[in-house]
Chains A and B, each alone.
Chain A
Amino acid sequence: MKSKDVVIIGAGITGLSVAYYLSRNGVRNIAVIDKSFPGSGSTGRCGTGIRQQFTTREHIVLMRESVKLWREWETSLPLSVHFRQGGYLWLLETEKEVSNFEKYVKLQNLFGVESRIIDKYEAKQIVPDLDIESIAGASWCPTDGNAYPFDTVEALKLALKNYGTEINAFEEVVGIETRGGAVKSVITNKETYSTNLVIDAAGFGARKIAKMAGIDLPLKLYRHQIAVSEPVKVFLEPMIVKGELYFTQTYRGRIIGGTDLNEPETESLQSTERFLEKYATELLSVMPVLSSLNVMRQWAGFYVVSPDHHPILGGTPVSGFLVATGFSGHGFMLGPVIGKLMAMYVLHGIMYLPEANNLGLDRFKKGKLIEEKAVIG
């Protein structure tokens, strides 16, 4: 039996980031527990994208803050996370789409995000290899970008090590003990941790973990796939989005991207031929010059999706049991701000960005859902 001030379940970007901000603020008697290796969940499987071009106040405000923190991480963490502000270029096919995006851009501008609508010729200037024939315009935000998931995990791991915060990998949580409506302990296949505070950051496992505490999280798991090409010298810095397709080039030279197959819920994480075919077709219609590049790897991960495509953050009916999940495909980019929000919440009992108050679990009971229209891949 070990005694811990905080037990964080999940060593994806969410769990590690919460642990980082807690450690930075003096809380060190923490255990971060993961059933596999850090980054093995959706974090290590994601598309690397970081954007502020969203359609709701909550996402825009959180992501504007997160971009600020990503920039900070790039210098304050002991290793580079390779955060690059190459911009997001969102290609729009019809005039109707353009006029919708004009509305989103207005909202984004209102909260200080420098996005704007551009015509297709300017899009071509930004990315000369684009085929612009079938597009009507684009939404462009130069301060969006991407970071490298494995470098991010390594940087956070090292930072935690420097603080003396422990990460217990390859240890699986099998039970959570509560008494009188409050958390008492976390039981794993190796150890029992007595604690008053648990943060469920278990990504695809978050729903199962919450169930152990008697809480039902309204989450669904959808398989999403990705492919990377063999590397070539970096020539593409922005993330390109068109319909369900997104892609960019990592700093290591690989074209990374995905698309959506609109599949039903599944537990399988196999990659499929159907994905590669759809992705390649969409990719080549936007950037034909890539046709002779080889695909090097394909893989799949889960989008952990909430009913309104927004995160579920903060307290639950069980005292001391907090959640940070349901990122619906946006958890990597939100990593820094979620970590800071949750850590401040633990320390001070409030969400330091008021918008985060709208993201509690209770919103589903109260019927206060928020709808996000810009979910990709």
Chain B
Amino acid sequence: MREISKHPVLSFERGKRIKFLFEGSPVTAYQGETVAMALYRNGIDVFSESPKLHRPRGMFCAIGKCSSCMMRVNGVPNVRTCILPVREGMTVERQKGLGEKPSKAVKYPPPVIREEKVAIVGSGPAGLSAAITLAENGVAPLIIEQNPRLGGQLIKQTHKFFGSERENAGKRGIDIASEMIESVKKAGVEFYLNSTAFGFYEGKTLGVFAENKLLKIRSKYFIFATGAAEKMIPFEGNDLPGVFGAGAAQTMMNVYGIKPGENVLMVGAGNVGLIVSYQMLQAGINVKAVIEAAPKIGGYFVHAAKIRRFGVPIYTSTTIKKAIGERRVEKAVIVSLNKKFEEIPGTEKALDVDTICLATGLIPSVSLLAQSGVRMKYVSALGGYVPLRNKYLRTSLPNVYVAGDITGIEEASTAILEGEIAAYSILSDMGKDVEKELSDAISELSELRSGPFGAKIVFGMKEVQYE
């Protein structure tokens, strides 16, 4: 069993036990978890075989962004099982190569058309804070979320936040998330879970597949707070089950109480790599090493010190060369790099690990914006293509706003502030008197970014801001 039984910070409430069929055999799951988590908890790593070479594939991102976990569910091919809540009696099958065509015609109810003032896509810290700000000012938004829970990546962050009082310093992400979710629910904000926005048409209509029905959301304003997806990096065997995004490992451990593995190699010593390593140690997982391609550690010193205290080595100027294994990772080969980031022959070292976590960066999830023709720019400091916007977070489409990691990779405190700014900008556009709140939030954000870690962001921002 891969269940985490004791945890210093978290306690897991597990739903009632239900059964579903995997490849014809019954599997036990907890109500409220996703199909992928239920399978993984039961020791099933391989979810499909790759289309051409029939290599084993498992989940990678665990938040519905990479399609690595697709399976056939109730006769429907290509279902992302990491965001599909498990139900009693479901049939789940592996796809061997491409999935077979659907078994039968599924009848869907007629589309539901919603006319809204503000629609928010994504319920991470940015989306939630926008929703709260709007609701507090008398405008009820509608939230669309593709995962089964509100809160985005915040619901798995067990570490305490830095920053000032105002930005929740000293609080754990999970607690900030529960408070925000509480406020959203109290304010009566309506939200759809398990609902994927699949198309954004002409800046006016959002197409959403909400469980088994089609929603067409026509809204005066939109806020896109769709976050980011974890980056895969190229190395031999990177598609083996057991190679996860660091965020996926966090979701498994801290949301579902599942150990991603027993012995882990963490790739990347930025804050994400360091924090997730520490959380793994807390969950009783053995972190064999943290490796970092750059010559020095990217994250905060305190985070690095914490994991060093556990005796975990951090190797800088080192990268992963390959993952070895039959059905999942059995070994990882790492190698030292010279100053030009070239491998130094003869320095390869094999580690006995069953899990490799990649904390090698994130890419903003901008595709819906691009579909509607929002102007974009590639800014490496911000993580990839990001929308051009002004300081009020308005994009090149005047009714479309952005907040959070979609604007460039940062962290939860800035996402919360951006959510507020987007919301206040819309309120002000609607004629509400929120000028002071708006300018306060804007100056707070620039203060928050004034430290050394904000420098890169501020630099990147210059590339995409217009007046």
Query: Residues of A with Cβ closer than 8 Å to B?
Result: 129, 230-235, 253, 270-273, 276, 284, 288-295, 298
A-B contacts besides A129-B101, A233-B97, A273-B201, 5 pairs, CB < 8 Å: A234-B98, A273-B207, A284-B105, A289-B102, A293-B77
Contact in complex: B102, A233 (CB < 8 Å): no
Assess whether A292 is in contact with B199, with CB atoms less than 8 Å apart.
no
CB < 8 Å: which of B98, B100, B198, B201 contacts A272? B201
Does B41 interact with chain A (Cβ within 8 Å)? Answer: no
Contacts of A230 in B (CB 8 A): 77-78
- The reply to whether B372 and A273 form a contact with Cβ atoms under 8 Å apart is no
A293 CB contacts on chain B under 8 angstroms? 77-78, 101-102
Instruction: Confirm or deny: B340 has a beta carbon within 8 angstroms of a beta carbon on chain A.
Output: no
B98 touches A231 (CB 8 A): yes
A272 to B108, alpha carbons, bound, how many Å?
21
**B371 in contact (CB, < 8 A):** yes
User: Who on chain A is nearest to B212 by CB?
Assistant: A292
Q: Does B205 sit at the interface, judged by CB under 8 A? A: yes
Whether the Cβ atoms of B101 and A233 lie closer than 8 Å is yes
Whether the pair B78, A271 counts as a contact (CB closer than 8 A) is no
Residue in A289, A295, A298 whose CB lies within 8 Å of B105: A289
- Interface 0/1 of B164-199, CB less than 8 Å to A: 000000000000000000000000000000000011
Chain A residues near B100 (CB-CB < 8 A): 232-233, 235
Give chain B nearest CB distance to A225 CB in angstroms: 11
Q: B339 at interface (Cβ–Cβ under 8 A)?
A: no
**Cα–Cα distance between A273 and B106 once the two chains are bound (Å):** 21
Query: Taking A231-B98, A273-B201 as contacts, is the C-beta distance between A288 and B105 under 8 angstroms?
Result: yes
Whole-angstrom distance from the CB of B460 to the nearest CB of chain A?
25
In-complex Cβ contact of A233 among B99, B105, B372 (8 A): B99
Q: Does residue B373 face the partner (Cβ distance < 8 Å to A)? A: yes
CA gap between A201 and B410 in the complex, in Å:
46
CA distance A349 to B76 in the complex (A): 57
Q: Which A-B residue pairs are the 5 nearest by beta carbons? A: A288-B105, A273-B201, A292-B76, A292-B106, A233-B98
Could you tell me if B199 and A276 are in contact, using CB atoms closer than 8 angstroms?
yes
Q: What is the CA–CA distance of A292 and B100 in the complex, to the nearest angstrom?
A: 12
Given the interface pairs A230-B78, A270-B372, the reply to whether A290 lies near B199 with Cβ below 8 Å is: no
User: Are B207 and A276 within 8 A (Cβ)?
Assistant: yes
- B199, A273: Cβ atoms closer than 8 Å: yes
A295 CA to B199 CA, complexed, in Å? 9
Bound Cα distance A293, B77 (Å)? 7
Please indicate the chain A residues that have their CB under 8 angstroms from the CB of B77 in the complex.
Answer: 230, 232, 292-293
Q: CA–CA, A230 to B48, complex, Å?
A: 15
Q: Which residues of B contact A231 (CB under 8 A)?
A: 51, 78, 98-99
Give complex CA distance A295, B200 in Å.
13
A290 to B105, CA, bound (A): 7
| Closest chain B CB from A182 CB (angstroms) | 42
A291 near B102: Cβ-Cβ < 8 Å: yes
> What residues of B have a CB within 8 angstroms of the CB of A232 in the complex?
77-78, 98-102
A294 touches B198 (CB 8 A): yes
Cβ of B107 within 8 Å of any chain A Cβ, yes or no, is yes
Task: Name the A residues within 8 Å of B199 (CB-CB).
Answer: 271, 273, 276, 295, 298
Which among A272, A294, A295 is the interface contact of B202 at CB below 8 angstroms? A272
Interface assignment of B309: CB less than 8 Å from any CB of chain A: no
Contact A291 B106, CB 8 Å, known A270-B373, A273-B205: yes
* Chain B: CB-nearest residue to A229: B78
Residues of A within 8 A of B372 (CB): 270
In the complex formed, the residue of A with least CB distance to B367 is: A297
Residues in A with CB closer than 8 Å to B98 are 231-234, 253
* Cβ contact within 8 Å between B102 and A270: no
Whole-angstrom CA separation of A232 from B79 in the bound complex: 12
Residues in B neighbouring A270, C-beta threshold 8 A: 201-202, 371-373
- Scan residues 76-132 of chain B and give those whose CB is less than 8 A from a CB of chain A: 76-78, 97-102, 104-108
Smallest CB gap from A129: residue in B: B101
Q: How far is the CA of A272 from the CA of B202 in the complex (A)?
A: 7
The listed residue with most B CB atoms (<10 A of its CB), out of A276, A290, A291, is A291
**Chain B residues whose CB sits within 8 angstroms of the CB of A298 once the complex forms:** 199, 371
* Chain A residues with CB under 8 A of B97: 233
Q: Roughly how many angstroms separate A129 CA and B98 CA in the complex, as a whole number? A: 19
Residues in chain A near residue B328, CB distance under 8 A: none
Which residues of the other chain, A, contact B102 by a CB distance below 8 angstroms? 232, 289-293
Query: Which of B98, B100, B101 has the most CB atoms of chain A within a 10 A radius of its CB?
Result: B101
Bound-state CA distance A208–B76 (Å) is 48
A129 to chain B, nearest CB (A): 8
Task: Provide the bound-state CA to CA distance between A231 and B50, in Å.
Answer: 12
Q: Check: B389 CB closer than 8 A to any chain A CB.
A: no
7 contacts between A and B (CB under 8 A): A231-B51, A233-B98, A253-B98, A271-B201, A276-B207, A293-B102, A295-B199
CB-defined contacts of A290 to chain B, threshold 8 Å: 101-102, 105
Contact in complex: A289, B104 (CB < 8 Å): yes
By a CB distance below 8 angstroms, the chain A residues around B216 are 273
Given contacts A276-B199, A276-B207, contact A291 B101 (CB under 8 A): no
Closest residue of A by beta carbon distance from B76: A292
**Cα of A289 to Cα of B75 in the assembled complex, Å:** 11
Residue of B nearest to A131 (CB): B105
Tell me whether A271 and B106 are in contact (CB under 8 A). Answer: no
Q: How far is the CA of A258 from the CA of B104 in the complex (A)?
A: 23
**Given A291-B108, A293-B77, A293-B78, are A271 and B371 also a contact pair (CB < 8 Å)?**
yes
A281 to chain B, nearest CB (A): 11
Q: How far is the CA of A290 from the CA of B98 in the complex (A)?
A: 15
- The residues of B that contact A129 with a CB separation of less than 8 Å are 101
Could you tell me the distance in whole angstroms from the C-beta of B91 to the nearest C-beta in chain A?
14
Q: A235's contact among B101, B207, B371, by CB below 8 Å, is which?
A: B101
B101 touches A289 (CB 8 A): yes
Can you list, as one digit per residue, whether each of B298-330 has a CB less than 8 Å from chain A (1) or not (0)?
000000000000000000000000000000000
Separation in Å of the A331 CB from the closest CB of chain B? 25
Chain A residues with Cβ below 8 Å from B106 are 291-292
**B108 and chain A: residue at smallest CB distance:** A291
In angstroms, how far is the closest chain A Cβ from the Cβ of B395?
15
Residues of A within 8 A of B373 (CB): 270
- When chains A and B are docked, how far (Å) is the Cα of A294 from the Cα of B108? 13
CB distance from B233 to the nearest CB of A (A): 24
Which chain A positions have C-beta within 8 A of B198? 294-295
Assembly CA distance A230 to B101 (angstroms) = 10
Residues in B whose Cβ lies below 8 Å from that of A288: 105
